[in-house]
Amino acid sequence: MTSRFFKCLFCSCLLASFLIAFPRAVKAATFENPAGIPPRLASDWIHAAIEAGRTIYSGTIVDRLASTNTLHASEHWENENTLMLPAQFLSQSAKISNERGIGMRYRLMSPWPINKRNAPGSRTLETGFQKVMENPEQPFTWVVQTGGHWYFQAIYPDLAVNDSCVSCHNNHPESPKKDFKLGDVMGGILINLPLGVHAAESEPEKHLLPPEVVTDYIHSILESNRTVYSKFIVDRLQMNKVIFASEYWWAENALPLPAQFLLSASQLIHKRRQDLDFRLVSLWPINPQNGPSNEFERRGLESVAVHPIRPFIGRMRLGGKQYFQAVYPDLAVAPSCAHCHGSLVRTLP
């Protein structure tokens, strides 16, 4: 049983900051070291962050714009001035995060891949996916030793939650399976967490992960999702005059701003009660609600503005529960970020 939230904040370069929060610890009665997080719980939060970004992209962006016949997604998005497919969005985000070399890795996989690189690749992964097919309510987890190091691995079901997913696979000429329906398991999301050289295969849950390491993992996913959306969706399509991003995106049938994309993912996490929370905060917020709400957030924003290579971390007690929080710098990774904030600042009275 965990306390209610684990929080993490982010800060931009400096436009805003990320705040992430989650339960700091498990009960001491269960584990000798209450300061760590069990690998299974950490992978649940990691999967929640991955799934939130892809769900918002699939529904809010791809399906919405396709339904209005404004813009479609295609496999060859780079050459066709279209949106990338939801699976490509996840793969691009995973590529960016994995290349950071932070230890945690994740990828999309399927026994019926259109892209052969998404095949399971081993008998263990094939077995794990079969277990997920049999019981999609639970991920399949195990511990494996590779190169003298132990790793916790988990496969979560990748469900057909949007029309665009089903349509793409059923109509693609190279798809091995063409009878998917909404709600079907189409594949899996594989998450790989390093445990170290001394982990025991029989007791992986006793090898707890430090909270600051887990926040690094979650931050990497959120930052990668937002980078892909900012660079490959918003900036590319605006530069080619295909579609624009707008604060009033719903009324104008436009793209949400990158900050709004992240906010939508945060709201989805909160709605699903994942015991995980994140949001953007800033010393110079366009929306006053995104300013620091307490002394910790204010100090965190000031700290990452001076030391942007290190997150500002802390612990707090609220309502009898402990929270671990971290503020990360949120850098202006794409021209659209700086242009939006700069133009709005110039027009303010």
Give the residue from 274, 281, 224, 248 showing the smallest Cα distance to 57.
224
Cβ atoms 332, 12 nearer than 8 A: yes
Is the separation of the CB atoms in 301 and 327 below 8 Å? yes
Spans of all domains in the chain: 6-347
Task: Give pLDDT, residue 333.
Answer: 56
pLDDT at 94: 97
* Cα–Cα distance measured from residue 188 to residue 273, given in angstroms and rounded to the nearest whole number: 22
Sign of the dihedral through C-alpha 64, 159, 118, 223 = positive
What pLDDT does 147 receive?
84
Closest CA to 154 of 190, 112, 180: 190
Residue-wise pLDDT for 28-84, tens only, equals 323 334 468 899 999 999 999 999 999 999 999 999 999 998 999 999 999 999 999
CA distance 209 to 196: 10
The pLDDT value recorded for residue 335 is 59
Quote the pLDDT of residue 230.
95
Average pLDDT by consecutive 10-residue portion of the chain (349 residues)? 48 52 44 67 94 93 93 93 94 96 95 88 89 91 86 92 81 90 90 82 71 93 94 96 94 94 90 81 84 88 88 80 85 58 43
> Residue 235 is encoded by which pair of tokens?
């900036």
Residue from 119, 177, 151, 121 nearest 42 by CA: 151
Angle of the 258-271 helix axis to the 211-228 helix axis, nearest 10: 130
HSE-CB at 205 with a 13 A cutoff on CA atoms is 6
Please name the helix (run of DSSP H) or strand (run of DSSP E) that holds residue 195, with its range, or none.
strand 185-196
Global pTM reads 0.86
pLDDT attached to residue 17: 61
